[in-house]
Amino acid sequence: MPAPLEFYFDFSSPYGYIAAQRIDQIAVRHGRGVDWRPMLLGAVFKVAGSKPLTEYPLKGKYSTHDFQRSAREHGIAFNMPATFPLPTQGAARGVYWLKQVLPEKAVPFLKAVYAAYFVDGKDISSPEVVADIAAGLGVDRNAFLAGIENPEIKAKLREVTEDAIHNRGVFGSPYMFVDGEPFWGADRLDMVDRWLQRGGW
């Protein structure tokens, strides 16, 4: 089986959420899997010299409009959260912990976290809230809460984020690699689809 699509994202990224609803279908169509890699966009922005879209004059207003329009085009539920952006360490660590101990729960968990934030407006910066989400998927709540405080898991998230920035040039979310070829942004999913179809150009 060919290499999975590498999907870097932050849980506080609206375009990351939108792309997360579409990437599986594109990957499956081309016989690929998806390697989900949550990272911390705050650390990325420091190196990239940028900040959340909504904090830029002019671009902020357009972006909020475009989040909703982009979701609507694809029939994706989306409600701009009242609190935005949020710290996402707990949610991201939860994914890496699940990948180690209950890998089959990692993708359902990350999809549920994204929906909790961008559909239901829940405070996913709270370890309690993300632990509830994990518990809803049959994960032991106390084990999860201990897992996201595990130094090895904390280090894993830092390593993924640092590697993304310094070795792979990641500067935003979502950021995808197809056999090493980089694609930035939810609006590049159709290009990813064509790239896979044509085998590049």
Q: How far apart are CA 161 and CA 119, in angstroms?
A: 26
**Could you say whether residue 103 binds a second copy (CB under 8 A)?**
no
150 binds a second copy (CB under 8 A): no
Does residue number 128 form part of the binding site for a second copy (CB under 8 A)? Answer: no
- Among 5, 165, 176, 192, the residue binding a second copy under the rule CB under 8 A is 165
Q: How far is the CB of 72 from a second copy (least distance, A)?
A: 6
| # binding residues, a second copy (CB under 8 A) | 29
Instruction: Choose the binding region for a second copy from 4-12, 25-33, 34-42, 46-54 (rule: CB under 8 A).
Output: 46-54
Smaller CB separation from a second copy, 46 or 141:
46
Interface with a second copy (CB under 8 A), residue from 34, 80, 137, 191:
191
Q: Least distance from C-beta 186 to a second copy, angstroms?
A: 11
Tokens read off for 160: 């993924």
What would the two tokens of residue 164 be?
């993304």
User: Is residue 73 within the footprint of a second copy (CB under 8 A)?
Assistant: yes
Q: Looking at beta carbons only, is 125 or 161 nearer to a second copy?
A: 161
d(CA 134, CA 97): 11
Q: What does the alpha-carbon distance between residue 134 and residue 94 come to, in Å, rounded to a whole number? A: 8
Report the relative pairing of strands 181-184 and 175-178 from DSSP bridges: antiparallel
* Distance (Å) of CA 119 to CA 77, 81, 88, 116, 176: 6, 8, 16, 6, 23
In terms of DSSP bridges, do strands 175-178 and 5-9 run parallel, antiparallel, or are they unpaired?
antiparallel
In angstroms, the CA 162 to CA 155 distance is 10
Decide whether 1 or 167 has the Cβ nearer to a second copy. Answer: 167
Positions that interact with a second copy (CB under 8 A): 47-50, 56-59, 61-62, 65-66, 69, 72-73, 165, 169-172, 182, 184-185, 187-188, 190-191, 194, 201
